[in-house]
Amino acid sequence: MTDSENTFKSAKSAGCIEVICGSMFSGKTEELMRRLNLALIKNLDVHIFKPQIDTRYAQHAIVSHNQKTMPCTAIPTSTEILKFKKDQQVIAIDEAQFFDRDLPHVCNTLANAGIRVVVAGLDMDFRGHPFGPIPALMAIADDVTKLQAVCVRCGKPALYSFRFTGGTTQILLGETNAYEPRCRNCYHNYSTKSHSL
């Protein structure tokens, strides 16, 4: 190991929780990957997790809407994260809205042990209601980044994920086949699928 690698590895930083949230297509996974790539350049040990339920693109990778990928471990419940060895300097979690209510406690445990925890997930479901453990995580996070997509109806910043098919169950995996990002006005005033911009 070189001197500079040693310096980076031994610099024990304080743990923290970073939350990246927003609507679908707002760039949450890309932003997560950007932060993780910077950590990898610093030779930090990174471990990425996602909920097993998210089989949308791949079982062992996180995947952005523009097909960037990074390998990950898929797990059934958030407490599984604590069973892995704890010498990672950075732990990342994507699609965190699908995890259970233990996730804030798990993230706090990791952060208190000196680990940087970066979590990405939807803050709201298709009804505009808080989604899973994300709101509770936002409350205890050191840093929260809320991203916006482009509204497909009018081009304004989009904070909602409008669902135009698939019924009313909260969880429905999908992308442009079922969802489109919308601004507040278009979300509340138009109830059918948009023609694209």
Ligand X SMILES: Cc1cn([C@H]2C[C@H](O)[C@@H](COP(=O)(O)O)O2)c(=O)[nH]c1=O
Ligand Y SMILES: Nc1ncnc2c1ncn2[C@@H]1O[C@H](COP(=O)(O)OP(=O)(O)O)[C@@H](O)[C@H]1O
Is residue 29 close enough to count as binding ligand Y by CB under 6 A? yes
Buried-exposed string 16-36: b where 16+ CB fall within 10 A, e elsewhere: bbbbbbbbbbbbbbbbbbebb
Tokens of 20: 């990246």
Q: Does 174 bind ligand X (CB under 6 A)?
A: yes
Annotated binding-site residue? 126:
no
Q: Is 95 a catalytic residue?
A: yes
Direct distance between the N- and C-terminal alpha carbons of the chain, in angstroms, rounded to an integer:
52
- For residues 35 and 89, which CB has a smaller minimum distance to ligand Y in the complex? 35
**Residue 167 burial by CB count (10 A; 0-12/13-18/19+): exposed, middle or buried?**
exposed
Q: Per the structure block, which two tokens stand in for 61?
A: 């990778």
- Binding site annotation covers 39? no
Q: Rule CB under 6 A: say whether 144 interacts with ligand Y.
A: no
Contact window for ligand Y (CB under 6 A) among 8-16, 64-72, 77-85, 105-113: 64-72
- Answer with the entry of ligand X, ligand Y, Zn ion, none that 153 interacts with (C-beta below 5 to 8 A by kind): Zn ion
Residues that bind ligand Y (CB under 6 A): 22, 24-30, 64-66, 149-150, 152, 181
Q: Which residues are catalytic?
A: 95
